Structure 1
Amino acid sequence: MLGVVTSLSLAGHVNAAAIDCSYCETWNKPQAPFQIYGNTYYVGPHGLSAVLITSPQGHILIDGALPQSAPMIAKHVEQLGFKMTDVKVILNSHTHYDHAGGIAELQKLSGAKVIASDKAAPVLRSGRVGPDDPQVGHLLPFPGVSNVEALGRRQSIEVGTLQLNVIHTPGHSPGGTSWRWQSCEADRCLNMMYSDSLNAVADSTFKYSGDPRYPAAAKDLTSSMEAIAAAPCDILVTAHPELSGLWATIDERGNGDRAKLNDPAACQRYVATTKQRLDQRLASEKADKK
């Protein structure tokens, strides 16, 4: 979550919530769905990624954007020629309202199983982050997901021929998770990466340099960066698409040169940028103590 919340609008019930924040309108700007590579498709709004990975046996959806994004995401799935009822699993990068807010409605529309990391699962169920989230002071509730399955010790999620491998990436939030898989066109398969946010963003009270609510935040974030940098990565999509340079590479209609998305150095560049931001934040917090 990068925006500042201004209010939460309820349409009769929390599950019909539309969240109003300083960036929400921009994040939820319409975006035509498009093929990223092989069986991987972009189905989110312009400012918040949601990715569909398909197979004949069923599909996997990563992230649900805002509550008000859910109808758009479902429409995009159908526009691409797929059925929402064939989405068998919904995954999440992290439990902030701009990435998890639409999951409850998308689960209702699809009947899919929602699977999340052990720390993220209770937050998804309640729709409220805990006090250990670095942005707790900026975050408002989102529609809780009634049925969430915790990952436990599983290292991958399978649906039919699909296998998505788990990369635990805490730090931006305590239960952050990234996902990697392969997508193929003809006889060429590429390593796909959906990276959770790796930015050290916090409210005005949280300190990455040491906070009793989440003492390991900086250490966790550094380990997460190392994990993403070391993973096989040909095509990177980040939870906020501009952070991986998606729109700089492919035009908004999905009509650009998709071949340019194949960039084996993308994950390492993303990590280098986020590492620099963490270092700057730690230095700033240290200076504030003087």
Structure 2
Amino acid sequence: MKGLSFLTASIALVLATHAQAATPPAPQHYSNAAWTQPQKPFRIYGNTYYVGSHGLSAILVTSPRGHILLDGTLPENVPMIEANIRALGFRLEDVKLILNSHPHFDHAGGIAALAHDTGAQVVASAKAAKALKLGGEDPDDPQYGDASPYAKVEHVRIADGGETIKLGPLALTMHPTPGHTPGGTAWTWTSCEQTRCLSMAYVDSIALLTANNGHYRYTDPAHPERIADFRGTIDTLAKLPCDIMIAPHPDSINLIEKATQHGGNNPDALIDPNACKAYAAKAQVNLDERIAKENAKSKSPAR
């Protein structure tokens, strides 16, 4: 009887542990409530759809041979993203690939769960893959310790810069854009409506870092790659094929507002062939101002 009691207790412990592991993460309160605010899914152009929350983008590119999802936003948003995909008439199991803009919790936090639920293969740059496998706890990320960790992504296929990821008729090209994170990535592809085909660009964040309690310096002489990487990214962004630009934070480019116009009387409201160039120019201005500020601070007499 003692052996049976011990076995029963052991089984109960295993089941309890499994149930705890399977329990979804408790909802958190974020500084931006729009990050978890529901958003009705909509067509951006052709076979490209928005399936994210109101404040965080998740993009679905579809084909009869399977679909590609870009970004997973927050863990709490996974049910929303999956419901949005279904609401558009698509099946979760037809999502075959998941790509990522950069491996922070607000864009990659839901990827592990989405990969599990869809059976999709996750694809990322080598540096992003490292961070995804570590659940965002990457010591090489300047924001290490500041950004929240998330569920580790166990299996990640590594894509090289300039590589085109294909799925049936779909072809998405990866462009390394380090700066906000070492593994920052832009993705480009073509979407068509009837005989009109446009270049789509999903561009990563260009936000400058304030990591290490605000002591992160782009002008640190020990790290010349910081400015070099960002300048390279700016050059890449300016040259992207880009009729319609999409960003991980839709509010940064007024995407939802423009989409409302798109669904109304202005079907071309999202089309702007100069959007990526303007985005790059904005990044250049921000970087120049940051460099000037850091140089001025370094020349100031100590108090």
- Counterpart contact for 2:162–2:173, Cα < 8 Å: no
Name the CA shift for 1:281/1:21 in 2 (closer, same or farther; >3 Å).
Answer: farther
Q: Over aligned residue pairs, what C-alpha RMSD do you find?
A: 2.1
- Are 1:94 and 2:94 matched, yes or no? no
1:168 counterpart letter in structure 2: P
Comparing 107-116 with 254-263, greater Cα deviation is found at: 254-263
Deviation at 1:194, TM superposition (A): 0.2
- Counterpart contact for 1:37–1:258, Cα < 8 Å: no
3-state DSSP class of the match of 2:28? Answer: strand
- Are 1:112 and 2:120 matched, yes or no? yes
Deviation at 1:176, TM superposition (A): 0.7
- Counterpart contact for 2:160–2:174, Cα < 8 Å: no
3-state DSSP class of the match of 1:60? Answer: strand
1-side partners of 2:147 and 2:232: how far apart? 25
Equivalent in the alignment of 1:7: none
- Are 1:186 and 2:194 matched, yes or no? yes
Gaps of 5+ in 1: 1-10
Identity %: 44
Equivalent in the alignment of 2:169: 161
Deviation at 1:128, TM superposition (A): 2.6
Gaps of 5+ in 2: 1-18
- Are 1:237 and 2:240 matched, yes or no? no
- Number of equivalent positions: 279
Deviation at 1:28, TM superposition (A): 1.4
- Counterpart contact for 1:40–1:183, Cα < 8 Å: yes
2-side partners of 1:284 and 1:236: how far apart? 30
3-state DSSP class of the match of 1:149? Answer: strand
Equivalent in the alignment of 2:13: none
2-side partners of 1:256 and 1:129: how far apart? 45
From 175, 180, 184, give the equivalent of 1:176.
184
From 270, 273, 281, give the equivalent of 2:282.
273
Q: Which has the higher contact order (CA 8 A, sep 6+)?
A: 1
Deviation at 1:198, TM superposition (A): 1.6
1-side partners of 2:265 and 2:296: how far apart? 44
- Counterpart contact for 1:18–1:66, Cα < 8 Å: no
Equivalent in the alignment of 2:12: none
Any runs of at least 4 consecutive aligned residues in structure 1 with deviations exceeding 4 A, and if so which? 252-256
From 255, 260, 268, give the equivalent of 1:251.
260
Higher helix share: 2
Equivalent in the alignment of 1:140: 148
Equivalent in the alignment of 1:32: 40
2-side partners of 1:256 and 1:137: how far apart? 46
1:194 counterpart letter in structure 2: Y
Name the CA shift for 1:15/1:95 in 2 (closer, same or farther; >3 Å).
Answer: farther
2-side partners of 1:184 and 1:262: how far apart? 13
Equivalent in the alignment of 2:216: 206
2-side partners of 1:139 and 1:166: how far apart? 24
TM-score (norm 1): 0.90
1-side partners of 2:237 and 2:190: how far apart? 15
Question: Structure 1, residues 52-82: CA drift from partner, whole Å, max 9, x if none?
Answer: 0000000000000011111111110000000
From 59, 68, 74, give the equivalent of 1:66.
74
2-side partners of 1:263 and 1:168: how far apart? 22
- Are 1:224 and 2:233 matched, yes or no? yes
3-state DSSP class of the match of 2:52? Answer: coil
- Are 1:85 and 2:89 matched, yes or no? no
Name the CA shift for 1:131/1:241 in 2 (closer, same or farther; >3 Å).
Answer: same
Q: How does 1:118-129 map to 2 (within 5 A)?
A: 118-129=126-137
Larger radius of gyration: 2
- Counterpart contact for 2:69–2:98, Cα < 8 Å: yes
3-state DSSP class of the match of 1:175? Answer: coil
2:135 counterpart letter in structure 1: G
Comparing 170-179 with 250-259, greater Cα deviation is found at: 250-259
- Counterpart contact for 2:162–2:175, Cα < 8 Å: no
TM-score (norm 2): 0.86
Deviation at 1:210, TM superposition (A): 2.0
2-side partners of 1:246 and 1:231: how far apart? 19
